[in-house]
Structure 1
Amino acid sequence: MAKKFAVGADIVVIDIPVGRNTKIEDVQEGRKLARDFIEIGERLGMRVECALSYGESLVGHTIGPNLEVREALAVLEGATTPNSLIQKSLSISGIALEMAGKAAYGQGFDMAADLLRSGKALEKMRQIIEIQGGDPTIKAEDIRPGEHQFVVRAPHDGYVIELNNKALVTLARLAGSPYDHGAGLDIHAKKGTRVRKGDPIFTICADREWRLERTIEVGRTLMPVLVEGMVIERVPPERWV
């Protein structure tokens, strides 16, 4: 809130992810936090609304600076996936458009979708990049993840029944994110995905080899992904392929 106030924002939409393995585990707690944000906003002269969002699954397929920027820029360029990223972005943007009086109540999502489809959202992003001293002609394909990579594969046939967000974020940080821009995770199979033994589930990316090795070592104990099979558990745990 302090940062929003410092830059002179008068309309603020705050996303509050709710669910297991998030900071806010239930809707009631999320509503209480939302009321606190709204009250603080009133004291600071800012109009604040909050969106309680589903937080038990990752938004998009990536964690880490370069990976997330590449994914977001690809959507602005016209990519139709990942749907979770597109839907959440349009929903929150729609709330902001309604609060600003640009769209009637309940019509903000459609207006945001039109701005995305028309290319106006991409045009505005390029203007922002240029103002901040970046290259406004950059494309998603120009943004590269860390060169040191390790692919975590399904230990057997089945469905991905669990992706532990906290554990995945821990691995991304161990790999160097967000300070090493190329570090992070690229998720290939989200919750509910049918996989065969050996299929890639996620890739760890790092700018430094020693960070990748450390992340692999810790990941073998965290086991952030569960693939359903007939065997509930193996002791000791199965190692990554």
Structure 2
Amino acid sequence: MRVLDLIAAKRDGATLTAEAITALVQGFTNDTIPDYQMAAFLMAVFIRGMTAEETAALTMAMAASGKILDLSGIDGIKVDKHSTGGVADTTTLVVAPLVAAAGVPVAKMSGRGLGFTGGTIDKLEAIPGFRTQLSEAEFIGNLRRHQIAVTRQTSDIAPSDGKIYALRDATATVESIPLIASSIMSKKIAVGADKILLDVKVGKGAFMKTLDDAIELAKTMVAIGRQVGRETVAVLTAMDQPLGQAVGNSLEVAEAIDILAGRKRGRLYEVCLTLATHMLLLAQAADSAVAAREKLERLLASGAALAKFQEFIAAQGGDPAVAFRPDLLPAAQLKLAVASQRRGYVQRIDPACIGNAAMLLGAGREKKGDVIDFTVGLTMQVEVGDFVEQGQPLAIIHANDPRKAEQAQQNVLAAISLGDDTVPPLPLLLGIVDEQGYCKIS
């Protein structure tokens, strides 16, 4: 089938063969198919959608466009974890060492942040000396010796995904569930893990704004996993306010250390324990969710999880002292408390507005290639439902530029609404999607 015929077929709602989709991806990857034809195909998919079989074929074609790591030489069931991103979403920094401390190999490829959602790679690079670019041999070696390896995406892993995503970004075709699902899952499959745990964020500070859309995305990715032989489970979690207290790279590393050290609980802690529980179940490292949770809590209480984090830092070239001395992380020069202008109950915290405040300070990127400042960000002092007095701090701004700090202060004040009425806590854990479908968490 000619490329033109393939585009026309999808435009008219036809179902494409796996061979046709593979040829299209291969041609685009090796530059024999031009951008404008791939752009036309992406728009046809955006409008017409894809069947489960087509989406799986696109995923595997993208994964096969580069190396697919072979982790079969490593003992145990290897598990990967992916979050669709949000504000103060520091789960990987807690979950990966925690699960590794339980003896489950965690093989993960992570990305940088773009916009107001933070990237795991940026957070890890806030640790002095930490290396996020590992060779294939280093990645496999670390996984074998330490049960944990985290690397950034390279041109060798699913290169077609990078090219296609850049084109989607430029052609208004980002918000397509088959294209989102294939992008995420192609990278997960290429890394070579046996099982995949997904954290699909839902709400104002997430890519999926509604629960229905999040369920559809989760079901699509779980179906892809099933079709390619990788058991996949998705946990749906709320992103209608910042998940953790810290927003910003160095600050989020410090918060992760506090959780691993057993010094902190709260919303971030609960999501991390839930995700880690499902990873242990996928790896058959616990007989039940209750047993998995108890095992994880023991690892936190004993210090084993923090020790594994220290081991992980050292294995990737970072300063291991950071695990017990978070004050060694780079810090901003200025701190500014944002005071409440009235008394009342916190009715709303707009996570996107908070994330944009951190980005304005320099913690995030407006476009790829922007240099970020690891030291800046915010530490939230309230969450929805809290009662505050006038003058009480709503957030602490960490900045290196007084002018940007003042602008961020206005963002914070605009993000937080106060009222006289009490507000119940917002839901946090919304549901699970596995091969049996969607199940609401009560």
TM-score (norm 1): 0.85
1:78, distance to aligned residue in structure 2 (A)? 2.0
* Aligned counterpart in structure 2 of residue 119 of structure 1, from 283, 286, 303: 303
| Counterpart residue number, 1:189 | 382
Displacement of 1:73: 0.4
- Higher-Rg member (1/2): 2
After superposition, what is the alpha-carbon deviation per residue over 1:7-55, rounded to whole angstroms, capped at 9, x for unaligned? 3222221111223443223322221111111133345543221001122
Amino acid at match of 1:206: A
* Equivalent runs, 1:23-172 vs 2, <5 Å: 23-79=207-263, 81-106=264-289, 107-138=291-322, 139-172=325-358
Asked whether the 8 Å contact 2:338–2:409 carries over to 1, the reply is no
Aligned to 2:398: 205
Aligned to 1:237: none
Number of matched pairs: 227
Q: Is the 8 A contact 2:204 2:352 kept in 1?
A: no
Please identify, of 37-46 and 174-183, the stretch whose mean Cα deviation from structure 2 is larger: 37-46
Q: Secondary structure at the match of 1:223?
A: helix
1:146–1:182 CA contact under 8 A, matched in 2: yes
Q: Is the 8 A contact 1:21 1:165 kept in 2?
A: yes
The structural deviation recorded for 1:112 is 1.6
Pairwise CA RMSD: 2.1
**Alignment equivalent of 1:226, drawn from 390, 402, 417:** 417
| One-letter amino acid of the counterpart of residue 160, structure 1 | V
Structure 1 residue aligned with 2:361: 175
What TM-score do you get using the length of structure 2 for normalisation? 0.48
SS at match of 1:227: strand
* Unpaired stretches in structure 2, ≥5 consecutive residues: 1-183, 365-371, 422-442
Greater Cα offset, 49-58 or 125-134 = 49-58
Larger helix percent: 2
SS of the residue corresponding to residue 385 of structure 2 reads coil
SS at match of 1:113: helix
User: How high is the sequence identity, in percent, across the aligned residues?
Assistant: 27
* CA-CA distance at 1:110 after TM superposition: 2.1
Partner Cα separation in structure 1 for residue 360 and residue 256 of structure 2: 23
CA distance in 2, matches of 1:44, 1:204: 46
Q: Distance in 1 between matches of 2:399 and 2:191?
A: 33
Distance 2:317 2:224 in 1: 33
